[in-house]
Every structure is written in C-alpha cells, then in structure tokens.
Amino acid sequence: MQQKIVLIGGPGTGKSSILNELISRGFDCMPEISREVTLKAQQKGIDQLFLTEPLLFSDLLLEGREKQFLDANKSKESFVFFDRGIPDVHAYLEFFNTDYPTYFIEKSRKHLYTKVFMLPPWEDIYTSDNERYESFEQAIKIHHHLKKTYQQIGYKISIVPFGTIQERTNYILDAINNSL
C-alpha cells in the first residue's frame, strides 16, 4: 500500500530543502505549488494574490494540491512525499481570519495522508523573499494554525527536530521505516 507523507510547517522551516534531499535520494515528491501560483499572478500584475484575493488564491492552491494528491495515486512508488498538504490551504485562511466554503474542509477529510511530519519554526534558518512575505512572528502563528487544523482532522503529527537537512531527512525516513 502506498504511503502519502506530507511535510508541514510555517514558512521558512526547511520543507522544500528536505523535499529536495528526498528527490536526490530517489523518492517520488510533490513540490510546493504556492510559489508557482504567486509567480503566475505577479506576471499578470498582481503582486500578492493571496493578500488581494485570498479566496481565489486558495481555490487555485486547493485545486493544485488535490491534483497532486490524485496524481500520486498513479505513482508506482511505495512512498510519495508532499511539500504541504490540502489542509494547509484552510489553515492559512484561518490564520488570516478569512471565511471560506466548507468544501475546503471536505476535501481535506476526503484526501487523507498516511503520515504528517511538522517542521517547527526555526529562526536561524528563516528568511523572507519575494514570495515569502511573512515575518518570523507570523510564521510562529501559522505553525500553530497548521498544527490545530491537522489535529482537528484527526492526524497524529510527528515533530521533526532541528538539524542538518540530511539529519532531518534521516529522521523522517527512520520514523517511517520504524512504523512499518
């Protein structure tokens, strides 16, 4: 049976770096798509689509993450890793105190991941950039919203300790292998 493993955490916690390490080790991975959605909007002259039209941005993310989840079903690999999951979408809307349709939660409950690994806020590695506009203090708050959202759906969350990218990746792989 295929395991769908999602890496969650606020911005700048190392998810993409770990996903890239997993890719280099030959694992099937689904990258973060919010930067792609943001860049496409910027090409159309919208600097921060999430800030100007949060529901439109979130609908595009939800659609993309659901597609990734369904595409993973086509993989012949035993493990597929995701940089963020479907519940991240409404967790961010909660953080920004934005109302959203119930289908966001319904899709999160319909498409369930096997395991959830959370990377906690880590100020030493946090940086902001053109697409990551949140402050470190906001990243901490987002972390709490993500944790609450995933727990409300019923997930047991494993916290990934600080360390090098290789150490954090090894922690995740060891935890998966120890649960088989």
- Of 3.40.50.300, 3.40.50.1010, 3.40.50.720, 3.30.1330.20, the CATH number of 3-179 is 3.40.50.300
What does the pLDDT profile of the chain (180 residues) look like in tens digits? 899 999 999 888 999 999 999 999 999 999 998 878 777 777 877 677 666 777 888 888 899 999 999 999 999 999 999 999 999 999 999 998 989 999 999 999 999 999 999 999 988 876 765 555 677 788 899 999 999 999 999 999 999 999 999 999 999 999 999 886
The bridge status of strand 79-83 relative to strand 28-30 is: parallel
Task: Please report, for the chain, the start and end positions of each structural domain, with discontinuous segments joined by +.
Answer: 3-179
Collapsed DSSP state (helix, strand, coil) of residue 14: coil
pTM: 0.91
